[in-house]
Structure 1
Amino acid sequence: MQDSGILLYLLDTLITAGIVFFITRLFLGKAIKNREAEAETRAADIIRNAEEKAENIKNQRILEAKENFLKKRAEFEEETNKRKRAIQENEQKLKENDRQLNQQREQVKRKEEELERQRQQVTQQQDSVKRKLEEAEKSRLNAVSQLEKMAGLTADEARQHLIDNLKAEAETKASSYVKNIVEEAKLTATKEAKKIVIETIQRTAAEQAIENCVSVFNIESDDIKGKIIGREGRNIRTLESAVGVEIIVDDTPDAIVISGFDPVRREIARLSLHRLVQDGRIHPARIEEVVNKTRKNIEDEIVEIGERTVIDLGIHGLHPELIKMVGRMRFRSSYGQNLLQHSREVAKLCATMASELGLNAKLAKRAGLLHDIGKVWHEEPELPHAILGMELAQKYKEHPEVCNAIGAHHDEIEMTSMISPIVQVCDAISGSRPGARREMMESYIQRLKDLEALAMNFSGVDKCYAIQAGRELRVIVDSDNVTDEKAGQLSYDISQKIEKDMQYPGQIKVTVIREMRSVAYAK
């Protein structure tokens, strides 16, 4: 009973286990099938995604290839079009050149035909002239032979006989005429000439003024010298740069020396110093303001001097520009002789001499005053001052005799009126009297002018002043066009140009000044 019970128990257990195994296997099979289905689905999704990505990549690569192809194609077409256009332009140029060459060939051909026609005409004319000459020569020979038969002399004998007769008669009359003139001239010419010159000089008295290159400005005390110099020399440098002279402040008691070859600049500097000392405010801005006002006053004074001069001499109807030039003569010198005083003196001499000779004294006086206006022209032309003065007089409608006298007083043109030799003689009288002129001064001033003109020819130079008796050249440049480096190079170039083109004693210091200014106004 126990064994059957165990068997039943075992059987029952096995059955239970089998049932469990069957159920478990059934469920496991379904799970495996589900897993396999899911794996197949995922694999299909991966394959589909991969195919989509591959398709996208393929499409992208195709698009890039197409874009690159289109780009290369566009570049190729553009390059091809350029070459086509260049070829077309070259073809057009060649066609144009061919057309021009054809035109030139036609022109040359027409000219050759015209020249050939002219040559034929000239040949025909030469033949005609030759025939006429031959006929004329035959006629002349016939006429000569007939005259020789009638006179019983040959042509050469008749010509020589006539010349001898005329020569003998002319020598007889000329010797008699010359003898009479010489005898009369011996009696009267020397006496009359001396009389006219002496009376002219006696009746004319002009102030003698010999200009130099130094002016002295007197001061009340030496304390003012420090104000004029300024802190670190700023005031005196500003004044020298603005006027173009050298201000010498040394141990000379109660005096400041102004050095410069131009009298106008020295006068501007002297008057500016006078105003600054009286005002008491001496600084760079004030100095420039005073210098500008003084320069304007000097210009007004030049006009006033010219007007006063023509009124004193009784000259009327003179052009305003010529009056201004006459006033400018006051500040110029000729060989050390003041130009205005020299011109006044020549004008009076000319008027006196013209009156003695019975000529137009007013025209002579006018020509004598204006004979040196070419020396005060504001530019430096290549023409001689006499020719330049004549051109200025012609420009301002002066009388032709006055213009000729101005241009001929140094024999640069032919004299066409009696006033011209009078102006020449009076100019020589005024310039040759004792103490009138100094040649060295004129050559010295000309050298300083040439020195300034040489530096002004360089690009970027605004102003230029020769100071310290020509031992220093101060050059002021435009700061907008000249840099600091270029300023250094400019000083070297100017010095080399001076060494090459000019002759001078000692050495010349070239100083290039570049100053930057910024101005604003507060309102």
Structure 2
Amino acid sequence: MEFASYTGFEFILGVGFLVLGFFFHAYITKTNAIAASKQAKAILDEAQKEAEVVRREAKVQAKDAILRARENSERELSKQRTDILDLEKRVVNREKNLTSKLEMLNNKELQLTGRMTEISEQKDVLRAKETELNRLIHEETLRIEDAASLSREEARKIIMDRMKEELKAETDSLIRRSQKEAKEEARKRAREIVVTAIQRYSAETVNDVTTSQVNLESDDVKGRIIGKEGRNIKSFEAETGVNVLIDETPEVVVLSCYDPIRREIARVALERLIEDGRIHPARIEETVTKVKEEIDDTIRRAGEEALFGLGITGVAPELVHILGKLKFRTSYNQNVLDHSVEAAHLIAMMAADLGLDPKTAKRCGIFHDIGKALDHEMEGGHAEIGAKILRKYGEEQLVWEAVGSQHEGLDVHSIYGVLCDAADALTAARPGARMETTDIYIERLEKIEQICNQYAGVKSSYAVQAGREIRIMVEPEKFNDHGASLLAKNIAKQIGKEVKIPGTVRVTVIRETRCVEYAK
């Protein structure tokens, strides 16, 4: 009984523990469920937040994509709009061009129609004149045959001879008219080119005169220059190659030498010796040697400066030195180096207007008188000498041929040579460029008149306008219009060959016939 009681108590206790365990398990399960629910809710909230972030990012990316697509669309539309506007402009321009061309074609068609009408009318007039001429020839033939009992062939010969005379007169008239028109056109074009070149090149009007005298402070210096028994002056003349002329002219010593460079060396050396006061053979030798080196350097720099100012490169050093020598060379008291630079500018301008190469023209201009630097050392004219040395030192053929063909030198036709002659005449003929003595001026006028008077049929000739024009009176019965024109050409050509003239001389032939009758 006691065992049973004990067993029932254990059962109850077991059941109690079982129930308690059940409730504890249920509590634990509920607690876990609540925790799991909270965790699930937290995970869900986190997932919602991440989804919201993703959604926002997707929305932003979508907006960016939409904006980019819109910008691309707008850019493409703008480009298409620009292309359309350009196309419209091209179409409008093409329409305008087509319209103008159509108008031009219409105008040309009208002009052609008018011309065809005019030609048709002229043909009708010519036919009428031909018919009239045939009628007159026939009537003339009949009259000649009736009057002189000539055969048809004889009458034909007479008529043909008369027609030849008339045709010759008309031909001469046509030739003169054509020549006159061609001359006027050429003169007009040449005047435009020359005037343009002169206007574009502005040069100072100065006279660069190289003197050959040295001024002294007093005549006492003359004795020191001569030295004891003339040893100083002899030494000076031997070192410089210059003759020293000391006369009664107060305070002046004259240096005489054909070579301008030697004369310049002597002038500078003598001035330095006088300034130094020590004049004796050793000092003279030392001073002259030093001055020679300085003058040689001056010559080289003068050539380089002239070429640099013209923008000319690639010139042989020997040519640069020879060109610099022109600094001490004068022609009619005009400095030849300045004259060459001026000629180079003018010939380049004229060449540009004629469609030629201005660079080649400049080289021709600067070297056109280079032969004058050596004409006292080599035989021949300065044009021939210049061509030889330019060819020797590697200048291109166009340049040395142009220099050599000046003044009808080399038998080569060179347009650059013609331009050299024109530029040379321009620089020499401009006011103040050169000075001439009265004797040279009178001698030139007499030579021109002598050339004119030697032609048969010339009654007299007169130089007017300071020798710029020559007027020739001829016997009218010995010249017709064509003969007078030919005479003017021949005289102008001979004057150009035999007379050295600054610029041009206009030759005018006057053939005058006067018929005088008296009424009673």
| TM-score (normalizing by structure 1) | 0.46
Higher relative contact order (CA 8 A, sep 6+): 1
| TM-score (normalizing by structure 2) | 0.46
